[in-house]
Structure 1
Amino acid sequence: MAHATSLHDHARPTRPAHHHVAGPVDVVTELCTALFSRFRGYDQRVRARQYMDGLLRAQGRKSIANIAASVGVPGDEQRLHHFVNSSRWDVGPVRGALAAFLGGNGPVPVWVALPVSIPKAGRRMVGVFPHFSAEEGHRVVGQQAFSMWYASERMVAPVSWRLRVPDPGPGRRRTVEEFPDGLATATATAENCVANLLDDVRAWQVAPRLIVADARGDDERAQVSQMFRHTSPVAVRISGRTLLTVDEQRRGAGHTRRLTPAHAALDQARRTRSAGHLAHGGNPPVTATASVRLPGPRDPRCPGPAGGLALLGVWHEPRRAPDELWLTNVDEPASPALLRATRLAHRVDAGWRARGKEVGLRDYEGRSFQGWHRHMTLASCAYAMAELRSAEASGGSSLDA
């Protein structure tokens, strides 16, 4: 089994823990130093810190007006608007610094790729279009974004983002303000957005780490294929209708393969299911696994157990359909380590809904594509700050705060 499909090393950090967080003041000082030293000018460093502080302090919607009112003086609203929408700075180095800082505070057992929908009523805002939301279970009008989160038992925090902006169709053109040249291919499909996030992870990490993702929704098949082209171990949540190839050994018929929906691929394994174990107590779920492949020709870029993949079903009520279906290339698909990793994905989702709302991850309402990315990057920094403070206050785990 290739190293890329093993979970054995996930308890060890990718780098020495350089950033020891001793208290709230140290959190502020160390994180701001790590993040905002990436800005060239003093004024940019001031505005970045001001914007992040405003996201943490402002009440209600985190508009630039509210942010400026909570931390600034007359004239700061215009300055912050310019800083986010027009100033020259790149989000990439800030995101890389955030990933390095979080990794230095402890092990990085999981990266979680989370698709999110941000309902918006105004069609003139950047990236607003009708799409299926896995979060809501139906089609919505709004922004479809893809995020990559740091996730450990200590804390979770978003680090990188992609906003999907589909091709507007023949006869329609986008303004440079809304959608700069050269970015259409990178963000036109969910598959491309996911691929770009995987490139971010590849740039940040020293050794392959488990990547957990939810591919349900539009372009599910393309997203699943993209995930398994990555060199890291991967676990992808899929819908029950996803078609998979199952290898079978039938009496009198020899070795056969059949194409079947994922929910039916576990029928035989379910009859010999085994109980799994979770780290946080409670009734453990029931799990079952089956060896499967993605339909079509064998892709040498998709390493997995025995040359294929494993389908993991998770039941909280064994007499019903599985609550979750996970497709993975790890060599122990029903291991406690993988089950704990899927629980972290749920905590990321909960964090997006709760703390994500508190720090303004849903609140950008401008037309600028670059402005959206800058707002989401600074809101991610504010999220990490709040998580680190909670972790200190609760004695080391923000997840139990």
Structure 2
Amino acid sequence: MTTTHETPDMATGRPPGDLSRLLFGHLHRSDQQRWGHVYLQGLLRTDGKKTVRRMAAVVTGSEAASTSLHQFVNASPWEWTPARGELARWAARSLPVRAWTLAPAVLPKRGNCSAGVHQRFLPESGRTVNCQLGLGLFLDAGQTHVPVDWRLFLPPRFTRDEAVRDRAKIPATTRPQPLWDHALRLVQEMTSWS
């Protein structure tokens, strides 16, 4: 299946400022709002693999900005649920949405320290890969598929083994969930945003 990713402004690849304000306006600190805007631009403008370093370089022209962007994405205390809800509502208003689609995403990984990394057999390639497994909810508008919510699948060892959990910075309260439960929660959350 081919997915077409359209940006809010196809000519410049830049999101309009009002979209950034809509998605990140709930953040109380101006630096978080600024880095939220950089993050959104990075997601939309960076070709290929979207590492924090590459996104920071594309948007700001400086790889040094990657430290601040990394802090915003991985360590800054902000609630992402309001941003995802606003994204879903914006997409539903902006596109002729025909369906909600749930789809798995296999994210290949080299190491094994990141949350959820495990070995998984991929029938389509006939290979076993080291990866994270995500589940995304997309708004389907024909050739455009907008991801509006997603979950990371955690194999049981990431919630049962304290050393593994601590190394991956997974809260002690996190419990393993089967993929069907993630799917149900994604649909419930999307319904609450509609």
Tell me if TM exceeds 0.5.
yes
Deviations 1:23-67 (A, max 9, x none): 868962342232121222211111011122233444553222222
Q: Does 1:63 align with 2:51?
A: yes
Contact in 2 for aligned 1:59/1:66 (Cα 8 Å): no
Unmatched 5+ stretches in structure 2: 1-7
Q: Which of the pair has the greater relative contact order for Cα pairs under 8 Å at 6+ separation?
A: 1
Name the SS of the counterpart of 1:85 in structure 2: helix
Q: Does 1:147 align with 2:136?
A: yes
Deviations 1:6-27 (A, max 9, x none): xxxxxxxxxxxxxxx8986896
**Residues 200, 45 of structure 1: CA spacing in aligned structure 2 closer, same or farther, 3 A cutoff?**
same
Structure whose CA Rg is larger: 1
Deviations 1:253-302 (A, max 9, x none): xxxxxxxxxxxxxxxxxxxxxxxxxxxxxxxxxxxxxxxxxxxxxxxxxx
Q: For residues 84 and 159 of structure 2, what CA distance do their matches in structure 1 show? A: 35
Q: Does 1:175 align with 2:166?
A: yes
Contact in 1 for aligned 2:102/2:138 (Cα 8 Å): yes
Name the SS of the counterpart of 1:40 in structure 2: coil
Counterpart for residue 67 of structure 2: 78
Deviations 1:161-206 (A, max 9, x none): 1111111189832117521232224xx321222122122222122x
Letter in 2 for 1:182: T
1:246-325, aligned counterparts within 5 Å?
none
Q: Does 1:88 align with 2:71?
A: no
Letter in 2 for 1:87: S
Contact in 2 for aligned 1:127/1:144 (Cα 8 Å): yes
TM-score, structure 2 as length reference = 0.79
- Measured after TM superposition, the shift of residue 126 of structure 1 is 1.7
- Measured after TM superposition, the shift of residue 142 of structure 1 is 0.7
Letter in 2 for 1:28: P
Counterpart for residue 31 of structure 2: 43
Q: Does 1:28 align with 2:19?
A: no
Counterpart for residue 193 of structure 1: 182
Say what the alpha-carbon RMSD is for the aligned residues: 2.9
**Residues 37, 171 of structure 1: CA spacing in aligned structure 2 closer, same or farther, 3 A cutoff?**
closer
**Residue identity (%):** 28
Q: Does 1:124 align with 2:113?
A: yes
Name the SS of the counterpart of 1:166 in structure 2: coil
Contact in 1 for aligned 2:115/2:168 (Cα 8 Å): no
Name the SS of the counterpart of 1:195 in structure 2: helix
Name the SS of the counterpart of 2:16 in structure 1: helix
The alignment covers a number of residue pairs equal to 183
